[in-house]
Amino acid sequence: MSVTASPAAVRSIYSSRSARDRAPRPRVVMTVRSSSTTLSAVPILTKLQRDCATPLPVLRHVADAMAADMRAGLEADGGSDLKMILSYVDALPTGNEKGLFYALDLGGTNFRVLRVQLGGKDERVVATEFEQVSIPHELMFGTSEELFDFIASGLANFAQKEGGKFNLPQGRTRELGFTFSFPVKQTSIDSGILIKWTKGFAVSGTAGKDVVVCLNEAMKRQELNMRVSALVNDTVGTLAGARYWDDDVMVAVILGTGTNACYVERVDAIPKLHGPNSTSGRTIVNTEWGAFSSGLPLTEFDREMDAESINPGEQIFEKTISGMYLGEIVRRVLIRMAEDTRLFGDSVPEKLQMPFSLRTPDICAMQQDCSRDFEIVGSILYNVAGVNSNSSARKIVIDVCDAIAKRGGRLAGAGIVRILQKMEEDSKGTVFGKRTVVAMDGGLYEHYPQYRRYLQDAVTELLGPEISKNIVIEHSKDGSGIGAALLAATNSMYGH
């Protein structure tokens, strides 16, 4: 596979090491707080652990509330927190797809463009090439036109470099699968209205508009001859991409900056679906589970973070379990400890007071620290908060990280289980009686081993050892790009 990355390319937030991470370790890592100071933080920790706890009854309660929301969302639009968006994907890739297809993936602080040459059953993926471009921060708060112009120009640049193994038959228009990882009310396979932005985006003038029209207009301004053949959520792209290789894939989950899940649903289990039935009798439903909120074990820190967010009251499940928020919740707990117990000195460290200064990759790195004095924790606290800490304070910080990661992982596991159970309730034996694969993508899942373990534990506890043996959670890295290109092929105007 050849990989081309533009100079502006950035990697996942987990693998990119910022200047802060590279800063020298603190010279002084000696005790600056007495252990009695550290001890006084323990009640805050204990209360946090209690408020965050996810024993089986809590997980079951949350899972059942999610199932009720799923059914209500399938009943009618607006019926519940879970939008249960119809993807209009009823034909999944088969392996027969042939030709050159493009994909554009917009869902976070980077966008990715990709081209793939498909060779049918025998040759499968002949070649792929991609570029990743970081989106300037100001564009996340700018106008719709500015954002889409930026993206279309990146796409046009990329398309210009086509050559080698990539081959577009003469006279054909290039076709694109557009992965747009925000809640969209899909109106057909190649159109959909943005419901709202999530994950820190607040672009004006897009909500209520067809995002394919926005992209098409921007591509026209760039004089790029390309057509969107499929508009897909990243979960849907991941499911399609994974299904290309494995027929047992029934669910896809993203656990990254944001979170979401989709699954294969029977059309007769979707009362709100009117109009022509899919030929396969099945379709993919995008749950948009990030918006779920019932019965979650929330703490005062979650509530404060939500109240101060740009979308208060929204995306509560996402704010509890996804990568954009876990570090921030921990930061808020540490501030409380610093204020009430002087855990980091006489004043609350200024750097720590900056919202989102502690990132999920930081808390993940701190949890990997097995050294006797928790030196990595000490160095991250020093770099992030500018404080020296002793080993007992560091241990408390690790326990805070653990409480937040544990809740996130276990709740994600409960969500996955409930989707599987819902599918099984409606079609006995089709999910639990055989191997069933959950395709998983996202930096949080990929890079946070404790989170991953907590998720898996919850799945096993909820399903029991026998059934859970058949459930395979498979990491499907960056599958959504290829998946979107495959869906463009499946829905090609030239057939396939």
Q: For the chain, how many helices (H) and strands (E)?
A: 17, 13
Residue 446 makes contact with ligand BGC by CB under 6 A: no
Residue 105 makes contact with ligand BGC by CB under 6 A: no
| Contact criterion met (CB below 8 Å) for 412 and 259 | yes
Residue 318 makes contact with ligand BGC by CB under 6 A: yes
Nearest CA-CA partner of 243 in 86, 441, 419, 95 = 95
Pattern 149-188, ligand BGC, x by CB under 6 A? --------------------------------xxx-----
Residue 288 makes contact with ligand BGC by CB under 6 A: yes
d(CA 463, CA 296): 20
Compute the least distance from the CB of residue 368 to ligand BGC, in Å. 25
Residue 306 makes contact with ligand BGC by CB under 6 A: no
Alpha-carbon separation of residue 338 from 342, 347, 349, 350, 352 (angstroms): 4, 7, 8, 11, 10
Task: Decide whether 62 or 254 has the Cβ nearer to ligand BGC.
Answer: 254
d(CA 50, CA 47): 5
Task: Decide whether 41 or 416 has the Cβ nearer to ligand BGC.
Answer: 416
Residue 198 makes contact with ligand BGC by CB under 6 A: yes
Can you tell me which of 73, 93, 107, 479 binds ligand BGC, judged by CB under 6 A? 107
Provide the residue type at 356 as one letter. F
Residue 238 makes contact with ligand BGC by CB under 6 A: no
d(CA 34, CA 343): 9
Q: Which residues does the annotation mark as catalytic?
A: 199, 234
Task: Decide whether 135 or 337 has the Cβ nearer to ligand BGC.
Answer: 135
Phi, psi (5° rounding) for residue 219?
Answer: -65, -35
Residue 83 makes contact with ligand BGC by CB under 6 A: no
Residue 132 makes contact with ligand BGC by CB under 6 A: no
174-180, strands of its sheet edge to edge: 125-134, 110-119, 98-106, 174-180, 226-232
Compute the least distance from the CB of residue 186 to ligand BGC, in Å. 11
Compute the least distance from the CB of residue 217 to ligand BGC, in Å. 22
Structure tokens at 173: 């228009």
Residue 320 makes contact with ligand BGC by CB under 6 A: no
Compute the least distance from the CB of residue 188 to ligand BGC, in Å. 18
Structure tokens at 73: 């969302």
Task: Decide whether 107 or 177 has the Cβ nearer to ligand BGC.
Answer: 107
d(CA 477, CA 446): 8
Residue 293 makes contact with ligand BGC by CB under 6 A: no
d(CA 485, CA 490): 9
Residue 254 makes contact with ligand BGC by CB under 6 A: yes
Compute the least distance from the CB of residue 256 to ligand BGC, in Å. 6
The H-assigned helical ranges of 99-193 are 120-123, 144-160
Residue 436 makes contact with ligand BGC by CB under 6 A: no
d(CA 226, CA 215): 10
Residue 421 makes contact with ligand BGC by CB under 6 A: no
Task: Decide whether 405 or 444 has the Cβ nearer to ligand BGC.
Answer: 444
Residue for token pair 């929330």: 298
Residue 233 makes contact with ligand BGC by CB under 6 A: yes
Nearest CA-CA partner of 100 in 138, 67, 127 = 127
Footprint of ligand BGC on this chain (CB under 6 A)?
107, 181-183, 198-199, 233-235, 254, 256, 258-260, 288, 290, 318
